[in-house]
Amino acid sequence: MVKAPVAASAIALMLAAPWAAHAQDPSASELARVRDEMKALQRSYEERMQALEKRLNDAEARAAKSETSAAPAPAAQSDASTALPAAAQPTPAPVAASAVPAQNAFNPAISLILQGTYARTSRDPNNFVINGFVPSGGEVGPPPRSFGLGESELVFTANVDPYFRGALVASLAPDNAVSVEEAYFQTIALPQGLTLKGGRFLSGIGYQNEIHQHAWDFQDAPLAYQAFLGGRYQQDGLQLRWVAPTPVFVELGGEIASGRSFPGSDSNKNGAGSAALFAHVGGDIGESYAWRTGVSYLRTSARNRTYDDVNAAGAAVTNSFTGRSRVWIVDGVLKWSPNGNSTYTNVKLQGEYFRARQDGDFTFDQAGAALTDGLRLAQSGWYAQSVYQFLPRWRVGYRYDALSRGTVNIGVVTSGAATLADFPALAVHNPTRNTAMLDFNPSEFSRLRLQLAADKSRLGATDNQILLQYIHSLGPHGAHRF
């Protein structure tokens, strides 16, 4: 901190008038008195500056100590309602304020999420498909058999300045691939309940889409998310949210983006390739219930979006689609905890309904026959799940998934140029899945889960799955959404 110029300027301004008043009679005694006043003012100024510096250093040290010693939000929990009592939470070793440099206040919070599985399945997970629906690329299916790593996350977050904060979430896949799940800036100082986000982020549509995989109540995404959004829908663009100043929670939001994620594709054109709108409302019912519901709309376009299939002769083919995709989502969540105390027991009910349409040109066997005609799909799907925490560290849950193939109009089939047997991925099938789970949370930093499922995503086959999963959180991690 530079003191001398500031002190000199302040002293010069404060003494300008007295010096001018005595400029015509510069006696020795008068000059001595002026010098004494200057010295007294300088000492007073320096003492005040030292006091302010000490207060600033103490405040920064306390802030850094608070960030270091504060218990992170549960990385393996779906929300704050499942946190353990304070007495059961491990407390990090305290850090002395004098040992924390002031510069640490500007360092980003860094956390790491570790996941792994042991899986036993009756069907080969490498052949997983959701028959009756255009492959999205997000049909991850069950984990590989035997022992394996799950998706891990490396997270960096920090305030940039009084106006923006930034976040980076890197996904570390079991096949050693590294990808950017999220990398965005977000405003923290806009007025009137507005927030602007830009970069790559998980879209605000639906309910589960914005929740990271390690915070899901089940190991895998609902079938509707996999079939219609490729597992999770990411946006590269801008998002604007507005929270209304009302007694009940009211949130409106919109997004414009490149639209590269399924059901869109990289159209290699200027301007926005997708647009999304969402609205959520929520509130409390007495002391024991909390709820939120919403509706979302996504519109995007695809240009030469391809997928692999086999024709009626068993030969591999590549088909492509160019056209528009629209998805509507209705979501709802209801939570119960006795008198608002979710520490020991609570219940969460969650569900979403999807309606999707695709209209455009469809090319069969792009590299061979290259037959092109129209494609019109009107399909739907939904899931409902419930999770019950019956003891502070134990939860049990059940989820049911269902997809409806709906209306599938393939132009080259209608014209007779090809048959439905040439499109096994779009075979007549309505997939369902039943999933149950039991998890144990030794602390807020870890979760151990047993999951059982009977999956009928594949035509004429049931995949019976047994899954063991671990989730561990290292470092500070922000609280999860409602």
Partnered with residue 446 across adjacent β-strands are 443, 472
- Domain-located, residue 480: no
- Domain-located, residue 86: no
Q: Which residues of the chain have pLDDT under 70?
A: 1-29, 31, 34, 45, 59-106
What is residue 140's predicted lDDT score, i.e. its pLDDT? 79
The total domain count for the chain is 2
What is residue 34's predicted lDDT score, i.e. its pLDDT? 67
What is residue 28's predicted lDDT score, i.e. its pLDDT? 60
- Domain-located, residue 94: no
- End-to-end CA gap in the chain: 44
Residues 271 and 357 placed together within one structural domain of the fold: yes
- Give the Cα separation of 408 and 428 in Å (integer): 9
- Domain-located, residue 318: yes
- Domain-located, residue 339: yes
Question: 392-407, pLDDT tens digit by residue?
Answer: 999 999 999 999 999 9
- Residue at which a domain ends, from 69, 90, 122: 69
User: In this structure, what CATH number is given to the domain that contains residue 350?
Assistant: 2.40.160.10
- Residue at which a domain ends, from 18, 42, 69: 69
Cα–Cα distance list, 386 to 295, 311, 335, 346, 395 (Å): 20, 41, 10, 11, 10
Other Cβ atoms within 10 Å of 438 Cβ, number: 13
Q: Which tokens hold the place of 251?
A: 């949130």
Residues 309 and 360 placed together within one structural domain of the fold: yes
Residues 258 and 404 placed together within one structural domain of the fold: yes
Residues 116 and 35 placed together within one structural domain of the fold: no
Residue 51 sits in which domain range? Answer: 4-69
Residues 59 and 168 placed together within one structural domain of the fold: no
- Domain-located, residue 455: yes
Q: Which residues of 356-386 are buried (b: 16+ CB within 10 A; e: fewer)?
A: bbbebebbbbeeeeebbbebebebbbbbbbb
Cα–Cα distance list, 388 to 63, 180, 345 (Å): 37, 33, 7
Residues 355 and 463 placed together within one structural domain of the fold: yes
- Domain-located, residue 214: yes
What is residue 261's predicted lDDT score, i.e. its pLDDT? 92
User: Which is nearest to 301 in space by CA: 253, 252, 268, 254?
Assistant: 268
* H or E stretch covering 114: strand 109-121
Q: Yes or no: say if 303 and 268 are a contact pair by the CB < 8 Å rule.
A: yes
* H or E stretch covering 377: strand 371-391
Residues 21 and 168 placed together within one structural domain of the fold: no
Q: Yes or no: say if 78 and 216 are a contact pair by the CB < 8 Å rule.
A: yes
All residues at 6 or more sequence positions from 321 whose CB lies less than 8 Å from its CB, including other chains: 134, 302, 304, 305, 306, 358, 360, 361, 362, 363, 375
Q: From start to end of 192-315, where are the E strands?
A: 194-202, 234-243, 249-257, 274-285, 289-310
Residues 58 and 122 placed together within one structural domain of the fold: no
- Give the Cα separation of 446 and 472 in Å (integer): 4
Other Cβ atoms within 10 Å of 254 Cβ, number: 16
Residues 311 and 441 placed together within one structural domain of the fold: yes
- Domain-located, residue 97: no
- Residue at which a domain ends, from 69, 89, 123: 69
* H or E stretch covering 63: helix 28-69
- Give the Cα separation of 112 and 325 in Å (integer): 36
Residues 248 and 152 placed together within one structural domain of the fold: yes
For the entire predicted model, the pTM comes to: 0.77
Residues 170 and 279 placed together within one structural domain of the fold: yes
Residues 186 and 314 placed together within one structural domain of the fold: yes
